[in-house]
């Protein structure tokens, strides 16, 4: 119950402070995120994450029956 209360209070506080910051602050944060996404560092990090995910993916077919996989997808 404490977690839910903290979550609601945190959300409310964040909403209030975000509303007070206004549109100018929002635009400033959006521009910074855009510059970060366009940077080479971001591209390198994205490629590294994609490569590590590919390496973790099993190459052999799974031993899990197909009907169980289909049920999990629902």
Give pLDDT, residue 63. 64
pLDDT tens series, the chain, 74 aa: 778 889 999 989 888 888 888 888 889 988 998 999 999 999 999 999 999 988 887 766 666 676 666 777 76
User: What pLDDT is recorded for position 3?
Assistant: 83
The pLDDT value recorded for residue 55 is 87
The full 3-state SS of the chain, as one line of letters, equals: CHHHHHHHHHHHHHHHHHHHHHHHHHHHHHHHHHHHHCCHHHHHHHHHHHHHHHHHCCCCCCCCCHHHHHHHHC
| Per-residue pLDDT, 9 | 92
């Amino acid at each position: 119950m404490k977690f839910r209360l903290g979550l609601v209070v945190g959300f409310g506080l964040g909403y209030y402070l975000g509303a007070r910051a206004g549109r100018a602050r929002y635009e400033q944060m959006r521009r910074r995120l855009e510059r970060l996404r366009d940077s080479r560092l971001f591209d390198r990090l994205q490629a590294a994450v994609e490569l590590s995910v590919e390496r973790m993916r099993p190459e052999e077919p799974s031993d899990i029956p197909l009907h169980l996989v289909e049920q999990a997808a629902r």
